[in-house]
């Protein structure tokens, strides 16, 4: 299993690099910093698509986007608790002195999550399993130390840190939101932006990087209204693969349960929080991750943060790394606003209609963008072993980084002129690229590897008949479409509202030399 994964990862990583998806660790020409990556032209287009999908969904459920700073003074991180507690537990080798993440050492051997182990539990596990220094095979010093994950800097001489998540920074302007939304709860906001963690051992490609993109949404809500959540009614019957902590302990599988039943069974306490879990799940479905690759896992009571009322994760199954945490949904209660009220000497409470004061609770959906991007590539990459060059990125059409490639059959002015004009007409609404180099067969192969749903060829017939050939990625079928109908046809094809064969006149595929 482990070996199979490693082999896949090796081949997959070289696909990501060669096809311009993800390069790194960056900067490569200087040897690379572990945990830093570069999105190449294809990777960035895909990342933009994922971010826009996330943005659209949050916006459609009345969350408003914000952009706060990345660098903040350390008083903020003192209040949030990050400065004290946001650290890796490390253990040092008694001989070579190298430091290692204690929970990772245990996880590698026991194949279980050890992130919530106490220091003593970690030491016990290391001793019982005779875990030794991966570098020199010597014994460890019998002591767990803490190493801060915060990336530090100075601003005009003052101590500051780069945010390790967007969340904390989002709570700070609460009074501004409260005024902008005319003093009414609930308030929904979100951010998509960079965060930084000084991981002692970055690993699993972009899954655990030192610099990464977070998408995090918060609902500020009156604790008395957590069960008064109108949007719940629209989704009460939706079934998700819930995996509560008791089922995990009993080693039973996740079950498809309706959102409503999680409340009835007491698995989830409030409607608003259950809705957040549903929304997080929906985000991943809408990115194009297949339902069978997703499960919704509850944190063990030992595992969740001390302030969290409840915590569930969205996990996605990858070929490279197996089930991988991709999103956390937390009921953070009034912990954050209370802390920041105290440390900033600013009252962050809200006022109810009856005049009484209330410290809002925060319901939070937090995920990285890098993980689903990698997940999509991991899941949809299809290497065709025998016929070299026929590798397919089988990504859902709607999420494809490039939606359409435009090819003049040959580099002749009468063809390139039409091709350029079509590109310029379509590029405001679609992600379109233009390629005039190499044989058509080679260009088709290339487009398939990059997951491009449709290729358009402009040939000499196009000049006379004002139509073009459109080729479908997955079937290699070809149709002729009138230039004037292209826009509508492409919209409907990409939305899945039109069958390819109905979008134009089907043609016999000419015998193309695919060198």
Using CB under 8 A, which residues numbered 10 to 39 contact a second copy?
A: 17-20, 23, 26-30, 33-39
Measuring CA to CA, which residue among 432, 377, 396 is closest to residue 20? 377
**Of 65, 159, 309, 325, which lies in the binding site for a second copy, with binding defined by CB under 8 A?**
65
Using CB under 8 A, which residues numbered 37 to 56 contact a second copy?
A: 37-41, 43-45, 47-48, 55-56
Sole window of 85-93, 171-179, 359-367, 467-475 interacting with a second copy (rule: CB under 8 A): 171-179
Measuring CA to CA, which residue among 181, 220, 227, 226 is closest to residue 360? 220
Report the residue number, 307 or 434, with the smaller CB distance to a second copy. Answer: 434
Using CB under 8 A, which residues numbered 189 to 208 contact a second copy?
A: 189, 194, 196, 198, 200
Using CB under 8 A, which residues numbered 460 to 489 contact a second copy?
A: none
Give dist(CA 393, CA 448) in Å, integer. 7
Using CB under 8 A, which residues numbered 395 to 454 contact a second copy?
A: 424, 427-428, 431, 434, 437
End-to-end CA distance of the chain: 36
Using CB under 8 A, which residues numbered 106 to 165 contact a second copy?
A: 151-156, 158, 160, 162
User: Which DSSP letter does residue 118 get?
Assistant: -
Sole window of 8-16, 178-186, 316-324, 375-383 interacting with a second copy (rule: CB under 8 A): 178-186
Dihedral sign for Cα atoms in the order 472, 478, 479, 480: positive
Element spanning 503, H or E? none
Element spanning 177, H or E? helix 174-180
Report the residue number, 44 or 95, with the smaller CB distance to a second copy. Answer: 44
Residue 179 engages a second copy in binding (rule: CB under 8 A): yes
**Of 16, 50, 76, 350, which lies in the binding site for a second copy, with binding defined by CB under 8 A?**
76
Give dist(CA 338, CA 325) in Å, integer. 29
Sole window of 287-295, 310-318, 340-348, 406-414 interacting with a second copy (rule: CB under 8 A): 340-348
Report the residue number, 24 or 453, with the smaller CB distance to a second copy. Answer: 24
Cis peptide before 27 (omega within 30 of 0): yes
Report the residue number, 8 or 430, with the smaller CB distance to a second copy. Answer: 430
Quick one: three-class SS letters along 9-62?
HHHHHHHHHHCCCEECCCCHHHCCCCCCCEECHHHHHHHHHHHHHHHHHHHHCC
With tokens 């004009």, the residue in question is 421
Report the residue number, 21 or 380, with the smaller CB distance to a second copy. Answer: 21
> Which residues are CB-neighbours of 93 under 8 A, at least 6 positions away?
99, 100, 133, 135, 136, 138, 139, 140, 141
**Of 8, 15, 64, 323, which lies in the binding site for a second copy, with binding defined by CB under 8 A?**
64
**Of 7, 11, 69, 227, which lies in the binding site for a second copy, with binding defined by CB under 8 A?**
69
């Amino acid at each position: 299993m482990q070996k199979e994964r490693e082999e896949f990862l090796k081949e997959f990583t070289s696909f990501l690099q060669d096809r311009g998806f993800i390069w790194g660790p960056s900067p490569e020409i200087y040897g690379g910093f572990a945990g830093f990556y570069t999105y190449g032209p294809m990777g960035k287009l895909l990342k933009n698509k994922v971010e826009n999908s996330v943005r659209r969904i949050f916006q459609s459920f009345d969350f408003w986007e914000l952009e706060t700073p990345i660098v903040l003074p350390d008083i903020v991180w003192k209040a949030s608790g990050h400065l004290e507690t946001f650290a890796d537990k490390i253990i040092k080798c008694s001989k070579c002195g190298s430091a290692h993440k204690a929970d990772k050492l245990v996880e590698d051997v026991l194949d279980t999550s050890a992130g919530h182990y106490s220091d003593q539990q970690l030491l016990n596990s290391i001793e019982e399993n005779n875990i030794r220094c991966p570098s020199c095979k010597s014994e460890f010093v019998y002591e767990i130390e803490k190493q801060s994950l915060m990336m530090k800097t100075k601003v005009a001489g003052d101590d500051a840190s780069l945010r390790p998540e967007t969340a904390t920074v989002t709570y700070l302007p609460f009074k501004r939101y409260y005024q902008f939304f005319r003093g009414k709860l609930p308030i929904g906001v979100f951010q998509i932006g960079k965060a930084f963690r000084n991981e002692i051992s970055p690993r699993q490609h972009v899954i655990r990087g030192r610099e990464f993109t977070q998408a995090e949404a918060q609902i500020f809500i009156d604790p008395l209204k957590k069960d008064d959540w109108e949007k719940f009614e629209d989704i009460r019957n939706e079934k998700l693969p819930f995996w509560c902590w008791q089922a995990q302990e009993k080693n039973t599988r996740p079950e498809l349960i309706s959102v409503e039943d999680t409340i009835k069974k007491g698995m989830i306490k409030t409607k608003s929080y259950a809705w957040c879990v549903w929304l997080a799940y929906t985000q991943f479905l809408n990115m194009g991750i297949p339902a069978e690759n997703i499960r919704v896992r509850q944190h063990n009571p030992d595992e969740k943060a001390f302030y969290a009322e409840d915590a569930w994760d969205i996990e996605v199954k990858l070929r490279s790394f197996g089930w991988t945490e991709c999103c956390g949904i937390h009921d953070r209660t009034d912990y954050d606003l209370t802390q920041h009220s105290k440390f900033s000497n600013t009252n962050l409470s809200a006022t109810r209609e009856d005049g009484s004061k209330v410290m809002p609770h925060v319901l939070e959906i937090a995920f990285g963008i890098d993980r689903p991007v990698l997940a999509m590539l991991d899941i949809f990459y299809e290497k065709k072993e025998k016929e070299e060059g026929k590798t397919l990125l089988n990504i859902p059409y709607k999420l494809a980084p490039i939606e359409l490639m435009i090819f003049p059959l040959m580099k002749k002015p009468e063809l390139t002129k039409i091709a350029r004009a079509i590109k310029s007409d379509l590029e405001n609404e679609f992600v379109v690229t233009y390629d005039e180099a190499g044989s058509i067969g080679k260009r088709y192969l290339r487009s398939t590897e990059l997951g491009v749903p449709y290729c358009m060829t402009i040939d000499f017939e196009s000049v006379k008949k004002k139509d073009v050939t459109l080729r479908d990625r997955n079937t290699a079928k070809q149709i002729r479409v009138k230039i004037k109908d292209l826009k509508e046809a492409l919209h409907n094809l990409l939305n899945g509202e039109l069958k390819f064969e109905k979008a134009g006149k089907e043609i016999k595929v000419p015998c193309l030399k695919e060198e």
